[in-house]
Amino acid sequence: MAAFDLIAFDLDGTVFGIPFKQKITQRVYRAFQAAHDRGITIAVATGRPVAMLGDQLKSAPWLDWGITVNGAQIVDMQGDQPSLCRPIDKQLALKLMRELGDKVSWSTFIDDTPYVEEKKVLHMAEMGLGAFSDPGVTSAAADASDTDTGEGKSVMERFGFNPIEAFASRTDMNIVPSIYKLVEDLPKTSKVQKFGCAFDSAEDTDAAFSELTRVHKDLDIAILNATELEITGVGVNKGSALELLCWKLGIDSARAVAFGDSGNDISLTGRSNHFVAMGNADGFIKERADEITATVQEDGVAAWIEKNLLN
Protein backbone atom coordinates (compact mmCIF):
# COMPACT_ATOMS: atom_id res chain seq x y z
CA MET A 1 0.00 0.00 0.00
CA ALA A 2 1.37 3.42 -0.99
CA ALA A 3 2.22 5.83 1.82
CA PHE A 4 0.21 8.57 0.12
CA ASP A 5 -3.24 8.79 -1.43
CA LEU A 6 -2.87 12.15 -3.18
CA ILE A 7 -0.07 13.93 -5.04
CA ALA A 8 -0.26 17.71 -5.55
CA PHE A 9 2.32 19.48 -7.69
CA ASP A 10 3.19 23.04 -8.64
CA LEU A 11 4.03 23.82 -12.27
CA ASP A 12 6.63 26.52 -12.97
CA GLY A 13 9.99 25.46 -11.55
CA THR A 14 8.53 22.16 -10.32
CA VAL A 15 7.48 20.23 -13.43
CA PHE A 16 7.70 23.00 -16.05
CA GLY A 17 11.40 23.58 -16.68
CA ILE A 18 10.57 26.28 -19.24
CA PRO A 19 7.30 27.82 -18.01
CA PHE A 20 5.96 29.22 -21.26
CA LYS A 21 6.44 25.94 -23.13
CA GLN A 22 3.87 24.37 -20.76
CA LYS A 23 5.41 20.90 -21.05
CA ILE A 24 6.45 18.23 -18.59
CA THR A 25 9.03 15.62 -19.53
CA GLN A 26 8.06 12.09 -20.50
CA ARG A 27 9.68 10.76 -17.33
CA VAL A 28 7.49 12.97 -15.13
CA TYR A 29 4.42 12.17 -17.24
CA ARG A 30 5.02 8.42 -16.87
CA ALA A 31 5.57 8.74 -13.11
CA PHE A 32 2.22 10.48 -12.65
CA GLN A 33 0.51 7.89 -14.85
CA ALA A 34 2.05 5.01 -12.90
CA ALA A 35 1.05 6.55 -9.55
CA HIS A 36 -2.48 7.11 -10.85
CA ASP A 37 -2.65 3.50 -12.04
CA ARG A 38 -1.93 2.49 -8.43
CA GLY A 39 -4.97 4.41 -7.21
CA ILE A 40 -3.30 7.67 -6.16
CA THR A 41 -5.24 10.88 -6.87
CA ILE A 42 -3.25 13.46 -8.86
CA ALA A 43 -3.83 17.22 -8.51
CA VAL A 44 -2.03 20.21 -9.95
CA ALA A 45 -1.57 23.14 -7.51
CA THR A 46 -0.74 26.28 -9.44
CA GLY A 47 -1.15 30.02 -9.68
CA ARG A 48 -2.39 29.55 -13.25
CA PRO A 49 -6.03 29.14 -14.31
CA VAL A 50 -7.06 26.03 -16.22
CA ALA A 51 -6.72 27.91 -19.52
CA MET A 52 -2.97 28.29 -18.92
CA LEU A 53 -2.15 24.69 -17.94
CA GLY A 54 -1.18 23.74 -21.49
CA ASP A 55 -2.74 21.14 -23.76
CA GLN A 56 -0.51 18.32 -22.51
CA LEU A 57 -1.75 18.60 -18.92
CA LYS A 58 -5.36 19.42 -19.73
CA SER A 59 -5.62 16.24 -21.79
CA ALA A 60 -3.71 14.00 -19.35
CA PRO A 61 -5.98 11.10 -18.30
CA TRP A 62 -4.25 10.88 -14.92
CA LEU A 63 -4.89 14.50 -13.84
CA ASP A 64 -7.89 14.31 -11.51
CA TRP A 65 -8.08 17.75 -9.91
CA GLY A 66 -6.86 21.29 -10.42
CA ILE A 67 -6.06 23.59 -7.50
CA THR A 68 -5.76 26.67 -9.67
CA VAL A 69 -5.28 30.44 -9.32
CA ASN A 70 -3.38 29.89 -6.04
CA GLY A 71 -6.28 27.99 -4.51
CA ALA A 72 -9.04 30.39 -5.55
CA GLN A 73 -10.47 27.68 -7.80
CA ILE A 74 -10.76 23.91 -7.33
CA VAL A 75 -11.63 22.15 -10.57
CA ASP A 76 -12.57 18.57 -11.40
CA MET A 77 -10.29 18.05 -14.38
CA GLN A 78 -12.31 15.10 -15.63
CA GLY A 79 -15.45 17.25 -15.63
CA ASP A 80 -17.85 15.32 -13.42
CA GLN A 81 -18.21 17.72 -10.48
CA PRO A 82 -18.81 21.50 -10.26
CA SER A 83 -15.91 23.86 -9.57
CA LEU A 84 -15.45 25.66 -6.26
CA CYS A 85 -14.48 29.36 -6.49
CA ARG A 86 -13.21 31.59 -3.64
CA PRO A 87 -12.99 35.11 -5.13
CA ILE A 88 -11.75 38.49 -3.84
CA ASP A 89 -14.40 41.09 -3.08
CA LYS A 90 -14.44 43.61 -5.95
CA GLN A 91 -14.49 46.70 -3.71
CA LEU A 92 -11.60 45.33 -1.65
CA ALA A 93 -9.65 44.76 -4.86
CA LEU A 94 -10.21 48.33 -6.02
CA LYS A 95 -9.23 49.67 -2.59
CA LEU A 96 -5.97 47.72 -2.70
CA MET A 97 -5.08 49.08 -6.12
CA ARG A 98 -5.77 52.64 -5.00
CA GLU A 99 -3.56 52.15 -1.94
CA LEU A 100 -0.58 50.99 -3.98
CA GLY A 101 -1.14 53.61 -6.67
CA ASP A 102 1.07 54.05 -9.72
CA LYS A 103 4.20 52.49 -8.20
CA VAL A 104 3.13 48.99 -9.24
CA SER A 105 1.88 47.22 -12.35
CA TRP A 106 -0.86 44.61 -12.29
CA SER A 107 -2.12 41.32 -13.62
CA THR A 108 -5.31 39.54 -12.61
CA PHE A 109 -7.42 36.46 -13.16
CA ILE A 110 -11.15 37.03 -13.59
CA ASP A 111 -13.56 34.17 -14.29
CA ASP A 112 -10.57 31.95 -15.19
CA THR A 113 -9.39 34.50 -17.78
CA PRO A 114 -5.90 36.04 -17.38
CA TYR A 115 -5.26 39.76 -17.90
CA VAL A 116 -2.07 41.81 -17.68
CA GLU A 117 -1.36 45.53 -17.96
CA GLU A 118 0.91 46.81 -20.71
CA LYS A 119 3.01 48.39 -17.94
CA LYS A 120 3.60 44.98 -16.36
CA VAL A 121 4.62 43.46 -19.69
CA LEU A 122 7.32 46.14 -19.95
CA HIS A 123 8.38 45.36 -16.37
CA MET A 124 8.71 41.67 -17.25
CA ALA A 125 10.78 42.54 -20.31
CA GLU A 126 13.10 44.72 -18.23
CA MET A 127 13.52 42.02 -15.56
CA GLY A 128 13.80 39.08 -17.98
CA LEU A 129 10.80 37.33 -16.40
CA GLY A 130 8.22 34.94 -17.79
CA ALA A 131 8.18 34.82 -21.58
CA PHE A 132 11.19 37.13 -21.62
CA SER A 133 13.37 34.52 -19.91
CA ASP A 134 13.33 32.69 -23.26
CA PRO A 135 15.82 34.23 -25.75
CA GLY A 136 13.57 33.19 -28.63
CA VAL A 137 10.87 35.62 -27.60
CA THR A 138 12.44 38.52 -29.46
CA SER A 139 11.93 36.83 -32.82
CA ALA A 140 8.18 37.19 -32.42
CA ALA A 141 8.49 40.97 -32.71
CA ALA A 142 10.64 41.38 -35.78
CA ASP A 143 7.98 43.37 -37.61
CA ALA A 144 6.59 45.18 -34.53
CA SER A 145 5.66 48.83 -34.83
CA ASP A 146 7.37 51.62 -32.87
CA THR A 147 5.36 52.41 -29.73
CA ASP A 148 6.07 55.45 -27.52
CA THR A 149 6.52 54.66 -23.81
CA GLY A 150 6.05 58.26 -22.71
CA GLU A 151 9.58 58.28 -21.29
CA GLY A 152 11.31 59.90 -24.26
CA LYS A 153 12.22 56.57 -25.81
CA SER A 154 10.10 54.17 -27.79
CA VAL A 155 9.71 50.51 -26.91
CA MET A 156 11.83 49.60 -29.92
CA GLU A 157 14.60 51.98 -28.83
CA ARG A 158 14.62 50.59 -25.27
CA PHE A 159 14.48 46.88 -26.05
CA GLY A 160 15.38 46.45 -29.71
CA PHE A 161 12.02 44.71 -30.18
CA ASN A 162 8.41 45.33 -29.17
CA PRO A 163 7.74 43.41 -25.93
CA ILE A 164 3.97 43.98 -26.13
CA GLU A 165 3.81 42.24 -29.51
CA ALA A 166 6.25 39.54 -28.41
CA PHE A 167 4.37 38.80 -25.19
CA ALA A 168 1.01 38.63 -26.98
CA SER A 169 2.38 36.08 -29.43
CA ARG A 170 3.82 33.82 -26.72
CA THR A 171 1.17 33.70 -23.97
CA ASP A 172 -2.54 33.21 -23.35
CA MET A 173 -2.85 36.42 -21.32
CA ASN A 174 -5.02 39.32 -22.47
CA ILE A 175 -3.12 42.63 -22.50
CA VAL A 176 -5.11 45.67 -21.30
CA PRO A 177 -4.20 49.31 -20.60
CA SER A 178 -5.54 49.33 -17.00
CA ILE A 179 -6.43 46.51 -14.61
CA TYR A 180 -8.12 49.03 -12.31
CA LYS A 181 -10.47 50.11 -15.08
CA LEU A 182 -11.10 46.50 -16.04
CA VAL A 183 -12.13 45.56 -12.49
CA GLU A 184 -14.12 48.75 -11.98
CA ASP A 185 -16.27 47.97 -15.03
CA LEU A 186 -16.88 44.30 -14.22
CA PRO A 187 -20.47 43.02 -14.10
CA LYS A 188 -21.67 41.83 -10.70
CA THR A 189 -21.57 38.20 -11.78
CA SER A 190 -17.83 38.25 -12.53
CA LYS A 191 -15.39 36.85 -9.98
CA VAL A 192 -11.93 38.31 -9.31
CA GLN A 193 -9.78 35.34 -8.34
CA LYS A 194 -6.22 36.65 -7.96
CA PHE A 195 -3.94 39.64 -8.46
CA GLY A 196 -0.27 39.88 -9.28
CA CYS A 197 1.53 43.17 -8.63
CA ALA A 198 5.06 43.95 -9.76
CA PHE A 199 7.51 46.41 -8.17
CA ASP A 200 10.67 48.08 -9.42
CA SER A 201 12.98 46.43 -6.87
CA ALA A 202 13.23 43.66 -4.31
CA GLU A 203 13.39 46.30 -1.57
CA ASP A 204 10.07 47.79 -2.71
CA THR A 205 8.54 44.32 -2.86
CA ASP A 206 9.67 43.41 0.66
CA ALA A 207 8.44 46.73 2.05
CA ALA A 208 5.04 46.33 0.39
CA PHE A 209 4.75 42.74 1.61
CA SER A 210 5.44 43.80 5.20
CA GLU A 211 2.97 46.67 5.04
CA LEU A 212 0.20 44.77 3.27
CA THR A 213 0.40 41.77 5.60
CA ARG A 214 0.23 44.15 8.56
CA VAL A 215 -2.73 46.16 7.28
CA HIS A 216 -4.72 43.66 5.22
CA LYS A 217 -5.88 40.77 7.37
CA ASP A 218 -8.61 40.36 4.73
CA LEU A 219 -6.15 39.18 2.06
CA ASP A 220 -3.68 36.35 1.55
CA ILE A 221 -0.38 37.69 0.19
CA ALA A 222 2.56 35.67 -1.12
CA ILE A 223 5.96 36.63 -2.53
CA LEU A 224 6.13 35.12 -6.02
CA ASN A 225 9.63 36.33 -6.85
CA ALA A 226 11.99 39.17 -5.95
CA THR A 227 9.80 41.86 -7.54
CA GLU A 228 6.28 40.43 -7.52
CA LEU A 229 3.51 39.63 -5.04
CA GLU A 230 0.45 37.42 -5.54
CA ILE A 231 -2.77 38.33 -3.74
CA THR A 232 -5.90 36.27 -3.08
CA GLY A 233 -8.78 36.44 -0.62
CA VAL A 234 -8.14 35.80 3.06
CA GLY A 235 -7.29 32.16 3.69
CA VAL A 236 -7.22 31.44 -0.03
CA ASN A 237 -3.98 29.70 -0.95
CA LYS A 238 -2.70 26.39 -2.23
CA GLY A 239 -2.39 24.88 1.24
CA SER A 240 -5.95 25.60 2.35
CA ALA A 241 -7.25 24.43 -1.02
CA LEU A 242 -5.36 21.15 -0.68
CA GLU A 243 -6.91 20.61 2.76
CA LEU A 244 -10.34 21.42 1.33
CA LEU A 245 -9.84 18.99 -1.55
CA CYS A 246 -8.71 16.23 0.82
CA TRP A 247 -11.79 16.82 2.97
CA LYS A 248 -14.02 16.72 -0.12
CA LEU A 249 -12.50 13.43 -1.26
CA GLY A 250 -12.41 11.85 2.20
CA ILE A 251 -8.61 11.65 2.18
CA ASP A 252 -6.59 12.20 5.35
CA SER A 253 -4.44 15.25 4.51
CA ALA A 254 -1.50 13.53 6.23
CA ARG A 255 -1.61 11.12 3.29
CA ALA A 256 -1.13 13.91 0.73
CA VAL A 257 2.29 14.87 -0.64
CA ALA A 258 2.89 18.22 -2.34
CA PHE A 259 5.79 19.47 -4.47
CA GLY A 260 6.84 23.10 -4.93
CA ASP A 261 9.69 25.54 -5.37
CA SER A 262 8.73 29.17 -4.73
CA GLY A 263 6.87 31.72 -2.63
CA ASN A 264 3.32 30.83 -3.55
CA ASP A 265 4.05 27.25 -2.40
CA ILE A 266 4.82 28.35 1.16
CA SER A 267 1.22 27.65 2.23
CA LEU A 268 1.81 23.97 1.43
CA THR A 269 4.38 23.83 4.24
CA GLY A 270 3.72 23.58 7.97
CA ARG A 271 0.52 21.58 7.49
CA SER A 272 -0.35 17.94 8.01
CA ASN A 273 0.51 17.06 4.41
CA HIS A 274 4.06 16.09 3.45
CA PHE A 275 5.93 18.78 1.49
CA VAL A 276 8.84 18.11 -0.86
CA ALA A 277 10.89 21.07 -2.11
CA MET A 278 12.61 20.98 -5.47
CA GLY A 279 16.41 21.11 -5.56
CA ASN A 280 16.08 24.45 -7.34
CA ALA A 281 13.62 25.86 -4.77
CA ASP A 282 14.07 29.18 -3.01
CA GLY A 283 16.08 28.88 0.21
CA PHE A 284 13.21 29.73 2.54
CA ILE A 285 11.07 27.04 0.86
CA LYS A 286 13.77 24.42 1.39
CA GLU A 287 14.06 25.43 5.04
CA ARG A 288 10.37 24.66 5.62
CA ALA A 289 10.22 21.48 3.54
CA ASP A 290 9.92 17.98 4.98
CA GLU A 291 12.48 16.85 2.43
CA ILE A 292 14.20 17.97 -0.77
CA THR A 293 14.29 16.19 -4.12
CA ALA A 294 16.31 16.81 -7.28
CA THR A 295 15.84 19.89 -9.46
CA VAL A 296 13.16 20.38 -12.10
CA GLN A 297 15.84 19.91 -14.77
CA GLU A 298 16.65 16.54 -13.19
CA ASP A 299 12.97 15.47 -13.09
CA GLY A 300 12.93 15.76 -9.31
CA VAL A 301 9.21 15.01 -8.95
CA ALA A 302 9.52 11.82 -10.98
CA ALA A 303 12.65 10.80 -9.07
CA TRP A 304 10.79 11.12 -5.75
CA ILE A 305 7.69 9.27 -6.98
CA GLU A 306 9.76 6.44 -8.46
CA LYS A 307 11.73 5.99 -5.24
CA ASN A 308 8.92 6.37 -2.72
CA LEU A 309 5.71 5.27 -4.42
CA LEU A 310 6.58 2.96 -7.31
CA ASN A 311 9.29 0.70 -5.83
- Classified by CATH at the fold level, domain 6-86+236-308 comes out as Rossmann fold (3.40.50)
- Which residues, 6 or more positions from 211, have their beta carbon under 8 angstroms from its beta carbon? none
Half-sphere exposure of 98 (CA within 13 A, CB side): 8
Cα gap 163→33, rounded to integer Å: 38
| Residue boundaries of the structural domains of the chain | 6-86+236-308, 90-233
Cα gap 191→144, rounded to integer Å: 34
Query: Comparing 6-86+236-308 with 90-233, is the CATH topology the same?
Result: no
Percentage of residues in the chain having pLDDT higher than 70: 87
Q: Are 237 and 267 in contact (CB under 8 A)?
A: yes
Cα gap 281→12, rounded to integer Å: 11
Question: pTM for the complete prediction?
Answer: 0.84
**Range of weakest confidence among 7-21, 44-58, 119-133:** 119-133
137-163 tens-digit pLDDT: 544 433 443 444 445 455 556 666 777
Cα gap 195→190, rounded to integer Å: 15
197-252 tens-digit pLDDT: 999 899 999 999 999 999 999 999 998 888 899 999 999 999 999 999 999 999 99
CATH number for region 90-233: 3.30.1240.10
The 3-state secondary structure of 209-235, one letter per residue: HHHHHHHCCCEEEEEEECCEEEEEECC
**Three-state DSSP state, 73:** strand
